[in-house]
Chains A and B, each alone.
Chain A
Amino acid sequence: MSAENRLPVLIVSGFLGSGKTTLLRRFLQHPLAGEVAIIVNEFGEVGIDHHLIRKTDERTVLLDHGCVCCSMRSDLAHALRELLSKRDRGVIPRFDRVVIETTGLADPVPIVHTIVSDPVVRNHFRVERLVVTLDAVSGQANLDTYGEAVRQVAAADAVILTKLDLVEEEAVDALRATLAAINPTAMVLDSAFGRTDFHRLLAADSAGLGALELASANGTGPEPAPAVAHGMGAVASRCIVIDRPLDWHMFGVWLTMLLHRHGSRILRMKGFLNVGGEGGPLVLEGVQHVIHAPRHLREWPDDDRRSRIVVITRDLDIDLIEESLHAFQDAAQSA
């Protein structure tokens, strides 16, 4: 099945009480949602109009030598396969999209890993967006205290700010600054009682590459975000900009080696790579050890032809990562 024909999967994550279900209910009423199959962790089988809600258990299988982010959610893979099977047999109605609502303490990375790695699932489904709700009342405290909250925000393609009406504007500004420091690639949308700009959230070109555009505008890349002490250590982010075309194969050698040793401390990686040749860049997207299949763009989104990679790390020096990338690329020139 071609990439375009695979069914989109929208993952909704967020800390306990941050407004995931409210957002989901509003989304289901929105015309953009289409026919939706829903997979949630905590509810029993309940019918909501024409939508399907299925229960999945938290059975998790840890792969040999894998860390938590590389664990496969066998229950999720089974649920997705069964949805397909029932749809094809006419047992359930056709659906255009799957929404997965995670538990408040879940790390969403194993869900992404399951969808991009399971041999059957990845041929029928694709990750559309990883959306994380963050409430303005307790979001800052959660980020300061709980590693799970930081992990969710760092992995997000989009962050939906909720409960904005309950706090002072200064507190919201501080929360936005924290968000920008943790994950500059995430699209940030405001919401009120679950209502948000769903058109922008699902727009095809809104894949959260904001920091890369900023890198082009600044000429040299955005100022490094200061390392911030959060619930899981010092989180830092930066956009690495490389002027010359990259040797793609040496880049693969370097990145697989880096993820092997430091994958659990690289929270997010996202970028445009100039690997020479005609056409557009290679789009790289990853969370921790999980890297999506690179996509070739037909053309560059702007006039900037440099490679730009946003890196979000925990307790890892991004200057050293950049130095290492350059050393490997230099070695490729003479190999």
Chain B
Amino acid sequence: MAKLLRTIVLLMLIAITGIAAAQAIDPLPFRDHAEELRFQHLTSELRCLVCQDENLADSNADFARDLRHKVFELMQQGKSDAQIKQYLVDRYSDFVLYDPPVNGRTWLLWFGPLLILITGGVVVASTIRKRSRSGASAASAPTENGDDW
């Protein structure tokens, strides 16, 4: 079963690359440079579902180009970045967002590092306290000859 699955994935990949004639380099008629920057930023934070290791801005896949054009079209309609992201999330799930939203499912992701930092910080602080107290008198400065820097 697993082997079959892999073969299938491989075949799908072949199917995809076979048609990947379209290019990430994709001049679009932006109104001004600010709009172009906004587009570049937005598409760089969206994940391509076909080439899943690439963002929409860089992906050569035909599908990525379709979505890029959709994003452009929505921008022309005056939609905000949040609305455009929501539009894609409604159809393709949170998977398209390289910037995962902060919610119940991702709190560990967003606040985990903070938890580790606090825990580690407490350990470091207590170590420094202990060591500076235990040897307040003994904490002699090293010799002043400059070699023991």
Binding between chains A and B:
no
Please report A residues at the B interface, Cβ cutoff 8 Å.
none
